[in-house]
Structure 1
Amino acid sequence: MPLLLPRPQSLPRGLTTAVLGAVLGAAFVAQAVAALVPHVLLLLVATTASLAVEGVLYRWQRGALTLFAKAHADVAVRHVLRDLLLVVGLLRLGEQDRETQYAPLAAGLLAFYAAHCAVQAVSVLVRRTRTLPVVTRNIDASALRLSPAPPVLLRRPGPRLLLFGLPATAGLTATAVTGDARCAAAGVALSLGCALAGLAALLLRLLPGRRPAGEQEVLDWFDAWLAEYRPTVGLYFSGGVSSAYQAGMWLEPLAALDARPVIILRERFMVARIATTDIPVVCLPKVSTLMRLEHSTLQVLLHPSNSGKTSQVLRIPTIKHAFVNHGESDKLSSCNPYAKAYDQVWVAGPAARERYALAEVGVEDKDVVEIGRPQLDAVRPYAGPPAGPYVTVLYAPTWEGWDGNPGNTSLIAAGENLVRALLADPGVRLLYKPHPLTGSVDPRAGAADRRIRDLIRSADRARSGPRPAPSAEPARSAAELDRLTAAECRPGADQAERMLVQSAPEPGRAQAVARLTAAWEEAYWAALPQWEHRVVTDARPSLYACFNVADLLISDVSSVISDFLASGKPYAVTNTSGLPERAFRAAFPTVAAATVLTPDAAGVPALLESVRHPEKDDLSEARAQLKLRLLGPADPPSQERFAAAVRALCAASREYRARMAGRHAAEVPGQRRVAAAAAGPARSEAPRGVSHARGRG
Structure 2
Amino acid sequence: MPSAGLSTRRAVQLAALLALAVFYTAQLAGALLPNVPVFVTASLAGLALDLYLTHRQPGLLALLGKVRFDVTTRQLLRDMLIVIGLVRIPDVPPDIERPLTLLLLLAYAAHFVCQAVAQIVRRTRTLPVITRNIDASALRLTGAPPRLLARQPSRRLLRFSIPGTLGLVLSAGLSAEEWGLIGVGVTFLLSLGSAVYLGTWMLPKKRSANEREVLAWLNTWLADYRPTVGMYFSGGTTSAYQANMWLSTLAALEGRPLIVLRERFMVQKIDATDVPIVCIPKVAHLMHLEHSTLKVLLHPANSGKTSQVLRIPTLKHAFINHGESDKLSSCNPYAKAYDQVWVAGEAARERYQLAEVGVDDRDVVEVGRPQLTPIEPYQGAPAGTYTTVLYAPTWEGWDGNPGNTSVVLAGENVVRALLEDPKVRLLYKPHPMTGSVDPRAGAADQRIRAMITQANAARSGAGAPAGAAADLERATAELDRITANAFPGSADEMERMKMQGTPEEGRAERVRVATEAWEAAYWASFPEWEHQIVTGPRPAIFTCFNQADLLISDVSSVVSDYLSSEKPYAVANTSGMEEEEFRQTFPTVRAGTVLSPDAAQVPELLESVRNPGKDGLAQARKELKLHLLGPTDPPSLSRFNAATLDLAAEAEARNARVARRTAEIPGQREADDAAEEMEMEPSAGGDPEDAVTT
- Shorter-chain TM-score tier: over 0.9
Question: Does residue 1:469 correspond to 2:461, yes or no?
Answer: no
Shift of 1:653: 0.9
Which piece of structure 1 moves more, 680-689 or 476-485?
A: 680-689
Which piece of structure 1 moves more, 417-426 or 193-202?
A: 417-426
Q: Distance in 2 between matches of 1:684 and 1:285?
A: 20
Residue 542 of structure 1 aligns with which residue?
A: 540
Q: 2:575 aligns with which of 574, 577, 585?
A: 577
Residue 3 of structure 1 aligns with which residue?
A: none
Residue 105 of structure 1 aligns with which residue?
A: 100
Question: Does residue 1:642 correspond to 2:668, yes or no?
Answer: no
Q: 1:396 aligns with which of 385, 392, 398?
A: 392
Q: 1:142 aligns with which of 137, 140, 144?
A: 137
State the identity %.
59
Q: Provide closer, same or farther for how the CA distance between residues 52 and 101 of structure 1 changes in structure 2, counting only shifts above 3 A.
A: closer
Q: Distance in 2 between matches of 1:532 and 1:330?
A: 33
Residue 292 of structure 1 aligns with which residue?
A: 288
Q: CA RMSD in A?
A: 2.3
Question: Does residue 1:127 correspond to 2:122, yes or no?
Answer: yes
SS in 1 for 2:96: helix
Residue 188 of structure 2 aligns with which residue?
A: 192
Question: Does residue 1:224 correspond to 2:220, yes or no?
Answer: yes
Residue 685 of structure 2 aligns with which residue?
A: none
Is contact 1:242-1:437 (8 Å) kept? Answer: no
Q: Provide closer, same or farther for how the CA distance between residues 493 and 8 of structure 1 changes in structure 2, counting only shifts above 3 A.
A: farther
Q: Distance in 2 between matches of 1:533 and 1:230?
A: 51
Is contact 1:8-1:61 (8 Å) kept? Answer: no
Residue 21 of structure 2 aligns with which residue?
A: 25
Question: Does residue 1:80 correspond to 2:76, yes or no?
Answer: yes
Which piece of structure 1 moves more, 398-407 or 371-380?
A: 398-407
Shift of 1:681: 8.4
SS in 1 for 2:240: helix
Q: Provide closer, same or farther for how the CA distance between residues 166 and 416 of structure 1 changes in structure 2, counting only shifts above 3 A.
A: farther
Residue 439 of structure 1 aligns with which residue?
A: 435
Unaligned runs of 5+ in 1: 1-6
Residue 271 of structure 1 aligns with which residue?
A: 267
Residue 481 of structure 1 aligns with which residue?
A: 479
Q: Distance in 2 between matches of 1:403 and 1:195?
A: 52
Q: 2:369 aligns with which of 373, 388, 396?
A: 373
Q: Distance in 2 between matches of 1:174 and 1:605?
A: 76
1:514 maps to a residue whose letter is R
Residue 589 of structure 1 aligns with which residue?
A: 587
Matches within 5 A, 1:388-427: 388-427=384-423
Q: Provide closer, same or farther for how the CA distance between residues 680 and 326 of structure 1 changes in structure 2, counting only shifts above 3 A.
A: closer
Shift of 1:248: 0.5
1:245 maps to a residue whose letter is Y
Q: Distance in 2 between matches of 1:465 and 1:15?
A: 40
Q: 1:114 aligns with which of 106, 109, 117?
A: 109
Shift of 1:40: 2.0
Q: Distance in 1 between matches of 2:210 and 2:152?
A: 24
SS in 2 for 1:236: strand
Q: 1:685 aligns with which of 667, 678, 681?
A: 678
Shift of 1:425: 2.4
Q: TM-score, normalised by structure 1?
A: 0.93
Q: CA offsets per residue over residues 472-517 of structure 1, 9 Å max, x none?
A: 3322332222222222212331111110001121111111111111
Is contact 1:488-1:502 (8 Å) kept? Answer: no
Unaligned runs of 5+ in 2: 683-687
Q: Distance in 2 between matches of 1:616 and 1:668?
A: 73
Is contact 1:232-1:298 (8 Å) kept? Answer: yes
Shift of 1:194: 1.7
Q: Provide closer, same or farther for how the CA distance between residues 451 and 55 of structure 1 changes in structure 2, counting only shifts above 3 A.
A: farther
Residue 614 of structure 1 aligns with which residue?
A: 612
Shift of 1:211: 1.0
Q: Provide closer, same or farther for how the CA distance between residues 125 and 621 of structure 1 changes in structure 2, counting only shifts above 3 A.
A: same
Q: Distance in 1 between matches of 2:436 and 2:26?
A: 41
Q: Provide closer, same or farther for how the CA distance between residues 176 and 606 of structure 1 changes in structure 2, counting only shifts above 3 A.
A: farther
Is contact 1:469-1:527 (8 Å) kept? Answer: no
Q: Provide closer, same or farther for how the CA distance between residues 95 and 16 of structure 1 changes in structure 2, counting only shifts above 3 A.
A: closer
Q: CA offsets per residue over residues 43-67 of structure 1, 9 Å max, x none?
A: 2332343234323422332111121
Matches within 5 A, 1:148-297: 148-154=143-149, 155-297=151-293
Residue 549 of structure 2 aligns with which residue?
A: 551
Q: TM-score, normalised by structure 2?
A: 0.94
Is contact 2:231-2:297 (8 Å) kept? Answer: yes
Q: Distance in 1 between matches of 2:173 and 2:424?
A: 67
Residue 358 of structure 1 aligns with which residue?
A: 354
Shift of 1:680: 13
Shift of 1:683: 7.8
Shift of 1:72: 1.3
Shift of 1:399: 1.5
Shift of 1:564: 0.2
Q: Provide closer, same or farther for how the CA distance between residues 452 and 680 of structure 1 changes in structure 2, counting only shifts above 3 A.
A: same
Is contact 1:554-1:573 (8 Å) kept? Answer: yes
Shift of 1:419: 2.1
Q: Distance in 2 between matches of 1:387 and 1:442?
A: 40
Q: Distance in 2 between matches of 1:226 and 1:141?
A: 12
Q: Provide closer, same or farther for how the CA distance between residues 454 and 491 of structure 1 changes in structure 2, counting only shifts above 3 A.
A: farther
Q: Provide closer, same or farther for how the CA distance between residues 669 and 276 of structure 1 changes in structure 2, counting only shifts above 3 A.
A: same
Q: Provide closer, same or farther for how the CA distance between residues 412 and 12 of structure 1 changes in structure 2, counting only shifts above 3 A.
A: farther
